[in-house]
Structure 1
Amino acid sequence: MKITVRLPLYLSVAALLSTPVLATEYHFGGFLKANARYVEGNIAFQDSWTGGGSVTESAKRSQFSAAESRFNVSAKQGDVHGFAEIDFAGSSQGNAVFSNSYSPRLRHAFIEYQGVTAGQTWSTMVNTSTFAETADLGGPLVGQTMVRQALVRYQSGHWQFALENPYSYGTTEQSTDLQKQWIDPSNDYVPDAVIRYDQQGDWGNVSVSSLLRYLDPDDSAQFGAGVSVAAKLYTLGKDDLRLQLHYGNLGRYVGTDAARDIVNGELETTRSAMVAYRHFWTDATRSSLFYGHTTTEVEQTDRFHIGANIFTNLTPVLALGVELGRYQIDDQQPAYSLQNPAKGSSNYAQVSLQFYL
């Protein structure tokens, strides 16, 4: 973030004729990112791999894109801090026939004041320092927490306590024709609660989070709970090890569509893990080897993402990355389903050029 602007904040019309008593600092930042992506296999093409995906006929596809470019603004006035950020990834407006116009999407918009955060930002379950450095946006999302949503959070020392937006994602009991009935979230009225403890030092950092949920689709009154451990640990030289472990009724909080909250009226249980090791070849050049994996008990999904890359800084603000990887779906046969489980895989190669503003 290179630009800092200080503008006066006037408290009344009369104050326009007097010396300003308060000032607001603005910082503008983000990055421009150009991607070239090639995917080959029988999992339908995705701009970046999530924990979802559908198995199709084997195909090959290349795509150039700049939609992951990101812009943000931060404002501070006294004890009040605000932050807002947009990018263009996942836009439904983009069309290669008509000028590739992509609509912006809101990533963050929150206010911080005396330890309280209110607005949309990363869930308290998310430890962003443990994300792997990858060309594929988000990295092995299938094995990590990756949720942004509206919340109210209080932080005191090493502890964080939050109430977050409730949402039930999944299916109700199947009808006689075995067609899935998606849950109507209109009965979500109890916020999700998260408690988190952080510890950090010269060795890195570790966080332990617990999630408590009350899911009540069709007045079924189900209580869910889960736990998450995430760490970034420094090893040799500038190298680091990043890992996440998750277990419980975490549903949509983990795996980015690898798991649902409720499947056919039954609370889902998820096991998930992510590990990444980053090695510095020189001060400017480094590589990451990463792996993410999620399995579920009720729906019996089994999905993983593995990859390796090399990044080098051409200048202090310009990074070039090359990445190879594989995303695979190996779902098992649920006892209640007459449909064949999804099984497939796709390999990908991606080159990215990223200019930090």
Structure 2
Amino acid sequence: MIKTKLALAITTASLSAHSLAVDLGEFNGTNFSVGGYLKAETVFDQPDVGENSVEGSVRQSRFNLSTSSMVEDHKIRGFIEGDFWDNNTSSDSSYAWRLRHAYINIDNVTVGQTWNGQFFANAPFDTETLNFWGLGIGTIAGNGAPIRPNLVIHYVKDGWRFTAQDPLYSNADTPDAVLAYTHRTSSGHAFNLALTGREVDTTPSITSDDESKYGAAISLASKLKFGDTTVSISGFTGKGAAIYSGWGYNGARGLDAQMEVDNNGSLITTTGFSAGIGHKISDKLRANLRYGQVSTDKSSLSDDTLKQTAINMVYAYLPNVDLGIEVREQNAGNRPPTSQGTSVRPAGKQLELMAMYKF
């Protein structure tokens, strides 16, 4: 069984489920295993504007293949994973296979398509949620659009992680970068400090030029363990972080560069925080409460702050089968207008029911 930290993160949306990869055995010195999960979810939508609706889907289900071998005293791992998130329309359930992860790990270095540095600076320290778009609102990794760059390089050693990733600004001279350090205590507490930097297009309406400024941000995240109860607290602030956090000058705009600068081309400052508590009620039942918000110092909107509250309960019906319910409420939408199905996050209330079989 392959249980790397990356594989554990990849097999669950919130890093709360266990990795249950199936060992296929060894061939020519390489160990192979498969894993993933089947997830059925139904979301009842009660938006502040528009009609109520209900959507059901299994398209978040995913499958992965892992390899591990020792070559000349170097540990080599490979991982590839996909799901069925493409071709999402209200009238067609024939969803296409989508590549999520494809990376190579040699000792302390990982290269390929996988989680960005912002994800690793927040995900292991956040509170569990059932359905995610990036991470929870209020973190520097709250936008799902850039959460797995086309190419990323991680170097990890002694709690440090340095990440260089495919820049979101197409004319950038340098990669987007993250430098992070994680400290874990013997009592189970964990803390992360991360610095991020990237070139930002200051004239997004003009595609023929390369006018840019460098934006930097700082992120703090922690997860405190008190017996069967965990408390998660995080916060970030800085420039160049709006696209990664999912909220900026024009609100939630996916990968729109106009999130990062005002109408004068000046970089905005984005600030967010989150707090959550999780409790293991019994060996089979756990509950979580989470609040997050993110705001800007300049905004084209009347309300410059996105807020979300989520509460959920997850019942481990069997060791590899989870049943869950989550209630969410937020004051503004943070999904693109073209989003459909269970991924929609409009302003208003949502109720989600899910069943997950992990293998």
TM-score band w.r.t. shorter chain: 0.7 to 0.9
The structure with more strand, counted as a fraction of residues: 1
CA distance, structure 2, for counterparts of residue 254 and residue 216 of structure 1: 17
- Cα offsets for 1:161-198 (capped at 9, x unmatched): 22111113xxxxxxxxxxxxxxxx3x223111211111
Structure 2 counterpart of 1:308, from 297, 307, 311: 311
The one-letter code of the counterpart of 1:167 is L
Structure 2 counterpart of 1:4, from 3, 9, 23: 23
Determine the structure 1 residue equivalent to 2:348: 346
Determine the structure 1 residue equivalent to 2:328: 325
- Cα offsets for 1:223-278 (capped at 9, x unmatched): 1100111111102x221112221100112221377472334322121001122111
CA distance, structure 2, for counterparts of residue 248 and residue 312 of structure 1: 39
Contact 2:276/2:290 (<8 A) preserved:
yes
Structure 1: any 5+ residue segments left out of the alignment?
10-22, 43-56, 169-184, 332-343
**Identical pairs, percent:** 27
Determine the structure 2 residue equivalent to 1:64: 56
3-state DSSP class of the match of 1:125?
Answer: helix
CA distance, structure 2, for counterparts of residue 60 and residue 131 of structure 1: 30
Determine the structure 2 residue equivalent to 1:27: 33
The one-letter code of the counterpart of 2:229 is D
The one-letter code of the counterpart of 2:106 is Y
Q: Identify if the C-alpha distance between structure 1 residues 258 and 232 changes in structure 2 by more than 3 Å, giving closer, same or farther.
A: farther
Structure 2 counterpart of 1:135, from 130, 135, 145: 130
Most deviating of 263-272 and 107-116 = 263-272
Q: RMSD value over aligned CA atoms?
A: 2.2
Determine the structure 1 residue equivalent to 2:286: 286
Q: Identify if the C-alpha distance between structure 1 residues 163 and 81 changes in structure 2 by more than 3 Å, giving closer, same or farther.
A: same
Structure 1 counterpart of 2:237, from 229, 237, 247: 247
CA distance, structure 2, for counterparts of residue 24 and residue 196 of structure 1: 32
Q: Identify if the C-alpha distance between structure 1 residues 315 and 330 changes in structure 2 by more than 3 Å, giving closer, same or farther.
A: closer
CA distance, structure 1, for counterparts of residue 347 and residue 177 of structure 2: 36
Alignment of 1:213-252 (within 5 A): 213-216=198-201, 218-235=209-226, 237-249=227-239, 250-252=241-243
Alignment of 1:1-357 (within 5 A): 1-9=20-28, 23-42=29-48, 57-78=49-70, 79-89=75-85, 91=86, 93-98=87-92, 100-126=93-119, 127-138=122-133, 141-144=136-139, 145-146=141-142, 147-149=147-149, 150-168=151-169, 185=170, 187-201=171-185, 202-216=187-201, 218-235=209-226, 237-249=227-239, 250-255=241-246, 258=252, 260-264=259-263, 265-299=265-299, 301-329=304-332, 345-357=347-359
3-state DSSP class of the match of 1:87?
Answer: strand
- Which structure has the bigger radius of gyration? 1
Q: Identify if the C-alpha distance between structure 1 residues 330 and 255 changes in structure 2 by more than 3 Å, giving closer, same or farther.
A: closer
Give, in angstroms, the shift of residue 140 of structure 1: 6.3
TM-score normalised by length of structure 2: 0.77
Aligned length in residues: 297
The one-letter code of the counterpart of 1:346 is G
CA distance, structure 1, for counterparts of residue 243 and residue 61 of structure 2: 25
Contact 2:330/2:349 (<8 A) preserved:
yes
Structure 2: any 5+ residue segments left out of the alignment?
1-19, 203-208, 254-258, 335-345
CA distance, structure 1, for counterparts of residue 325 and residue 163 of structure 2: 38
- Cα offsets for 1:286-305 (capped at 9, x unmatched): 11011111101222531111
